[in-house]
């Protein structure tokens, strides 16, 4: 059907509820909005759905959620795995609770049991629940750190990690194979409960999850005076983190935790911030104000589904609060756990650290220093979760730690996704541990720079607001594949990794295979341990440029990073 026919069907058919029809009636004089809502179906990608809330095929609503769920259900039924059931969680976003129930009732109408949290929970706890309940799949309703207009739908598989190939492709095909709304099933809530298909997850899972997080501490027997001496300001940014993180910190001995009052309660409008993203300094403004009032040692912030952690650390020399990005937190945690000999404590015979290809190279030196294997995966924490499954199945490595530049990390294997709850606990423990030595986390970070090199990284995201612009970037990437440049600006290219063709080409022309899944990514290795990378976003119409340098000082690294950023931009490069 054309977009106009789709619009008329949604506006007039009794299949769609009265509220939906009224919303669409009000758009009758706005052809551009009608087109945007109906020119395509909201794409079910490799991780699920993400889109703007509203009525229409290209929006997040109960109907597109049901459609996606029917596709997942069809795939589960095709694998004869329906008896294992599906775990379902949701965050604080608008319509999250409603979407979670609609997903459950669609599964139930297909004869698949569901186990639903009845209040909002962090995404990593959903992953934990899938493992503990031995479910075939998990669904979490969240749009992570996107603005308030968005919501999303993530799919997990029985190992607790987000779906990867070939399961993601199979589910995508199952969703796209649905040709009529008549194929999408649902049932009344009362009937689902009475039939024994709809179950509520009890608080025992909360207790088990909290215990598993607390079990990741390196020094659980630290003197309580050391823990109580640390002042922490925490903001959940109106999301799911408040209850679990406060509980975890309190039970671990941290009693000086100040929660930002204005951002304590769940709020799908995220009324105090432009975007609930701990990567953005503006989101932490209230927390930083509170930190100055109470003279806090650290500030921590979590996104709405509590899988990403942002942090600020007080510099006692200047009194300023230094922002720690995901790379800095990752290397700080890695050095801390390695220095504390966690491998011996946890009896890890063959430990391994995982990082994504766009995460800092500073971790390479740390892994070498402690003789620990390091492996790279594609961008996206689901690939780290996938590797844990492989290690356990093949009995090769013992997973120690994994992190990515976009503020996500994981210790332990109790969950298979990044977890801001465990990150918050470890960051607080580190801060208390080093404070007892009269050092701040910034002091330790400076020591790491001095020990391993002054690594700095940045990310620039550009929206592809037209098909022409996307095609131009795509063509330029293909041109680079065919003709590897000798220089990018004044930076000599030593090798190019083409993850689409799965090869690495050296400056001498030597070609070696890359043993990672196919992805439209180009990564340029530059001299002096510099690098740059370009990739299409997997969830939005965006192109992302990543940059990394190594300097002889912070100022030198900043200068080199600015120079590299200025010369690597496909929209303006002559190729």
pLDDT of residue 480: 96
The per-residue pLDDT for 1 is: 85
- Report if residue 478 sits inside a domain: yes
Residue 129 near residue 416 (C-beta atoms within 8 A): no
Q: By residue range, what is the domain housing residue 25?
A: 1-37
Q: Is residue 144 flagged as an active site residue? A: yes
Label residue 464 by pLDDT band (50, 70, 90).
confident
Sign of CA dihedral 268, 274, 277, 281: negative
315, 257: one domain: yes
535 lies in the same domain as 552: yes
- Assess if residue 433 is contained within a domain: yes
Mean pLDDT computed over 18-36: 96
Nearest residue to 217 via CA among 426, 394, 42: 426
Q: Tell me what pLDDT residue 537 has.
A: 82
Instruction: Average the pLDDT over 406-433 and give the result.
Output: 98
Domain closes at, from 176, 202, 228:
202
Tokens representing 229 are 């001496």
Scored b (16 or more CB within 10 A) or e, 424-459 reads bbbbbbbbbbbbeeeebbbbbbbebbeebbbbbbbb
- DSSP secondary structure letter of residue 186: -
In the predicted structure, residue 563 carries a pLDDT above the cut 90: yes
Is the model's pLDDT at 538 over the cut of 90? Answer: no
Q: Mean per-residue pLDDT for 8-22?
A: 96
Q: Mean pLDDT of all residues in the chain?
A: 96
329 lies in the same domain as 459 = no
What is the tens place of the pLDDT at every residue in 353-405?
Answer: 999 999 999 999 999 999 999 999 999 999 999 999 999 999 999 999 999 99
Specify if 124 maps to a domain. Answer: yes
Q: Quick one: average pLDDT of 269-283? A: 95
Catalytic residue, from 92, 116, 144, 406: name it.
144
**Which letter, b or e, does each residue of 292-327 get, where b requires 16 or more Cβ atoms within 10 Å of its Cβ?**
eeeebbbbbbbbbbbbbbbbbbbbeeeeebbbbbbb
Residue 468 lies in a domain: yes
What pTM, to 2 d.p., does this model score? 0.96
Q: pLDDT class for 572, splitting at 50, 70, 90?
A: confident
Do 267 and 162 reside in the same domain of the chain? Answer: no
- What pLDDT shows up at residue 98? 98
Domain endpoint, select from 418, 452, 486 = 452
Structure confidence by residue, pLDDT tens digits, 131-155: 999 999 999 999 998 999 999 999 9
Share of the chain above pLDDT 90, in %: 94
User: Quick check: is 572 in a domain?
Assistant: no
Asked if residue 440 and residue 356 are part of one domain, the reply reads yes
What is residue 139's predicted lDDT score, i.e. its pLDDT? Answer: 98
Q: Are residues 135 and 197 in the same domain?
A: yes
Interval 113-137: pLDDT, tens: 999 999 999 999 999 999 999 999 9
Do 151 and 281 reside in the same domain of the chain?
no
Segment 476-482 mean pLDDT: 95
Measure the N-to-C terminal CA separation of the chain; round to a whole number of Å: 40
What CATH number has the domain bearing residue 322?
3.40.120.10
pLDDT above 90: residue 344: no
d(CA 178, CA 45): 15
Q: CATH number, domain at 486?
A: 3.30.310.50
* Same structural domain, 52 and 103: yes
Are residues 441 and 471 located together in one domain of the fold?
A: no
Residue 465: the pLDDT is 82
Here the tokens at position 389 are: 């499954």
At 574 the pLDDT is 83
Q: Tell me what pLDDT residue 45 has.
A: 82
233 and 358 together in one domain: yes
pLDDT-wise least confident of 36-40, 162-166, 344-348, 417-421:
344-348
Q: Is residue 574 part of a domain?
A: no
Pairwise CA distance, residues 156 & 88, whole Å = 10
Residue 575: inside a domain: no
Q: What is the pLDDT of residue 71?
A: 97
Instruction: Write down which residue in 202, 219, 249 finishes a domain.
Output: 202
Query: Do both 95 and 184 map to the same domain?
Result: yes
Three-state secondary structure of 337-372: HHHCCHHHHCCCCCEEEEEECCCCCHHHHHHHHHCC
* Domain co-membership, 268 together with 366: yes
Question: Structurally, how many domains does the chain consist of?
Answer: 4
8 Å CB contact between 360 and 452: no
Q: Classify residue 573: in a domain, yes or no.
A: no
Query: pLDDT for 172-226, tens place per residue?
Result: 999 999 999 999 999 999 999 999 999 999 999 999 999 999 999 999 999 999 9
Whether the per-residue pLDDT at 525 is higher than 90: the answer is yes
pLDDT at 491 > cutoff 90: yes
C-alpha distances in Å from residue 512, one per residue of 59, 506, 515, 521? 43, 9, 10, 16
Q: Where are the beta strands (DSSP E) in 176-320?
A: 198-200, 232-235, 257-259, 298-302, 309-314
């Amino acid at each position: 059907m054309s977009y106009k026919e789709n619009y008329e069907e949604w506006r007039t058919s009794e299949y769609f509820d009265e509220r939906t029809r009224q919303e669409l009636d009000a758009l009758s004089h706005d052809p551009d909005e009608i087109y945007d809502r109906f020119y395509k179906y909201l794409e079910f990608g490799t991780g699920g759905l993400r889109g703007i809330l509203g009525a229409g095929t290209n929006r997040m609503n109960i109907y597109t959620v049901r459609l996606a769920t029917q596709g997942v259900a069809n795939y589960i039924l095709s694998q004869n795995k329906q008896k294992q059931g599906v775990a379902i969680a949701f965050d604080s976003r608008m319509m999250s609770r409603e979407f979670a129930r609609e997903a459950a009732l669609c599964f139930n109408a297909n004869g698949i049991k569901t186990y639903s949290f009845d209040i909002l929970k962090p995404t990593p706890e959903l992953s934990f629940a899938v493992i503990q309940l031995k479910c075939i799949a998990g669904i979490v309703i969240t749009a992570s750190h996107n603005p308030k207009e968005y919501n999303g739908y993530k799919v997990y598989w029985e190992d607790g990690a987000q779906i990867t190939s070939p399961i993601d492709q199979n589910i995508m095909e199952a969703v796209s194979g649905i040709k009529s709304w008549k194929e999408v099933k649902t049932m009344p809530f009362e009937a689902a409960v009475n039939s024994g298909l709809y179950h509520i997850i009890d608080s025992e899972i909360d207790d088990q999850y909290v215990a598993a997080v607390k079990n990741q501490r390196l020094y659980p027997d630290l003197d309580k005076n050391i823990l109580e001496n640390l002042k922490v300001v925490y903001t959940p940014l109106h999301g799911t983190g408040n209850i679990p993180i406060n509980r975890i910190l309190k039970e671990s001995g941290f009693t000086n935790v100040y929660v930002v009052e204005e951002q304590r309660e769940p709020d799908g409008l995220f009324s105090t911030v432009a975007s609930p993203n701990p990567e953005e300094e503006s989101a932490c403004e209230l927390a930083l104000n509170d930190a100055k009032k109470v003279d806090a040692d650290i500030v921590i912030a979590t996104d709405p589904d509590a899988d990403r952690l942002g942090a600020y650390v007080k510099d006692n020399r200047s009194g300023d609060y230094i922002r720690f990005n995901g790379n800095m937190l990752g290397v700080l945690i890695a050095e801390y756990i390695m220095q504390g000999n966690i491998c011996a404590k946890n009896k890890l015979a063959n430990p391994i650290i995982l990082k994504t290809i766009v995460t800092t190279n500073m971790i390479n030196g740390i892994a070498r220093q402690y003789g620990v294997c390091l492996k790279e995966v594609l961008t996206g924490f689901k690939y780290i979760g996938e590797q844990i499954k492989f290690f356990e199945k093949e009995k090769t490595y013992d997973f120690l730690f994994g992190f990515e530049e976009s503020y996500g990390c994981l210790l332990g294997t109790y969950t298979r996704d990044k977890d801001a709850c465990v990150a918050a606990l470890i960051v607080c423990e580190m801060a208390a541990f080093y404070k007892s030595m009269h050092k701040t986390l910034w002091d330790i970070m400076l020591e790491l720079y001095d020990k391993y090199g002054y690594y700095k990284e940045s990310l620039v995201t550009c929206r592809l607001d037209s098909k022409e612009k996307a095609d131009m970037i795509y063509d330029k990437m293909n041109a680079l594949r065919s003709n590897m440049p000798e220089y990018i600006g004044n930076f000599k290219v030593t090798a190019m990794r083409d993850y689409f063709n799965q090869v690495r080409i050296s400056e001498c022309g030597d070609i070696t295979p890359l043993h990672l899944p196919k992805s439209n990514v180009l990564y340029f290795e530059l001299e002096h341990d510099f690098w740059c990378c370009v990739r299409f976003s997997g969830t939005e119409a965006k192109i992302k440029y990543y940059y990394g340098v190594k300097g002889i000082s912070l100022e030198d690294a900043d200068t080199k990073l600015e120079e590299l950023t200025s010369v690597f931009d496909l929209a303006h490069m002559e190729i």
